[in-house]
C-alpha cells in the first residue's frame, strides 16, 4: 500500500499542472484564388501567420478546387472574390475602433476593383487580439 501511495505521489508531482494546458488555437480559414496576382499577398499572409506558430490553426481553400467549392457552399459564398479570411468564423473583425472585413486584396495591392479595405497591419492586429498576443 505504501508503494502505491508513493507511486501516485510521484506521478502527481511529475504531471504538468492542468492550468498549464494551452488555450485552443485561433481558427483561421482562408479562401483564395491561386492566380499570379495574388501570390505576393498570400506569401505576406503566410509570413504573418508564421509569427503565431501553434496559436493559430490555419486551413487553406483554393477557390477552384473541390475542397474550395465545398467550403464556399458551406460559407454561402456565391460571388467571385480573390481572397477571404475568417478568424474564428468571422470575416468582419473589430480592430481597435474600426470594423475590418478581410475580403479581397489588401488596400493598395492587386487590381483596384478587387481591393478590400484592409491592411496586413490590421490582419496582424486582429490575430494578436484573437490569440491574446497584444
pLDDT at residue 18, as a whole number: 45
Predicted confidence (pLDDT) at residue 81 exceeds the cutoff of 60: yes
Q: What is the CATH number of the domain that holds 93?
A: 3.40.30.10
Tell me, yes or no, whether 9 lies in a domain.
no
pLDDT at residue 59, as a whole number: 97
Tell me, yes or no, whether 101 lies in a domain.
yes
pLDDT at residue 12, as a whole number: 46
pLDDT at residue 6, as a whole number: 46
Phi/psi at 40 (nearest 5 deg)?
-65, -40
Average pLDDT of span 27-51: 95
pLDDT at residue 39, as a whole number: 94
106 DSSP assignment: P
Please give the model's pTM, rounded to 2 decimal places: 0.80
Q: Which residues pair with 95 in a beta bridge?
A: 98
Grid cell listed for 30: 482562408
Tell me, yes or no, whether 81 lies in a domain.
yes
Tell me, yes or no, whether 11 lies in a domain.
no
Tell me, yes or no, whether 18 lies in a domain.
no
User: Which residue segment(s) compose the domain that 103 sits in?
Assistant: 23-131
CA 125, CA 63: separation in Å to the nearest integer? Answer: 26
Tell me, yes or no, whether 108 lies in a domain.
yes
pLDDT at residue 4, as a whole number: 53
Cβ atoms 131, 55 nearer than 8 A: yes
How confident is the model over 83-92, as pLDDT tens digits? 999 999 999 9
Tell me, yes or no, whether 16 lies in a domain.
no
Average pLDDT of span 19-34: 81
Q: Is 76 left (phi over 0), alpha (psi -120 to 50) or beta?
A: left
Tell me, yes or no, whether 60 lies in a domain.
yes
Q: How many domains does the chain have?
A: 1
pLDDT at residue 1, as a whole number: 59
Amino acid at each position: 500500500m505504501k508503494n502505491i501511495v508513493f507511486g501516485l505521489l510521484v506521478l502527481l508531482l511529475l504531471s504538468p499542472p492542468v492550468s498549464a494546458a494551452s488555450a485552443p488555437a485561433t481558427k483561421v480559414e482562408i479562401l483564395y484564388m491561386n492566380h499570379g496576382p495574388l501570390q505576393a499577398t498570400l506569401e505576406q499572409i503566410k509570413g504573418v501567420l508564421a509569427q503565431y506558430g501553434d496559436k493559430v490553426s490555419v486551413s487553406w481553400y483554393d477557390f477552384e478546387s473541390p475542397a474550395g467549392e465545398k467550403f464556399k457552399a458551406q460559407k454561402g459564398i456565391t460571388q467571385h472574390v480573390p481572397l477571404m479570411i475568417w478568424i474564428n468564423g468571422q470575416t468582419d473583425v473589430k480592430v481597435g475602433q474600426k470594423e475590418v472585413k478581410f475580403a479581397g486584396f489588401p488596400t493598395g495591392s492587386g487590381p483596384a476593383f478587387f481591393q478590400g479595405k484592409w491592411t496586413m497591419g490590421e490582419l496582424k492586429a486582429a490575430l494578436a487580439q484573437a490569440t491574446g498576443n497584444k
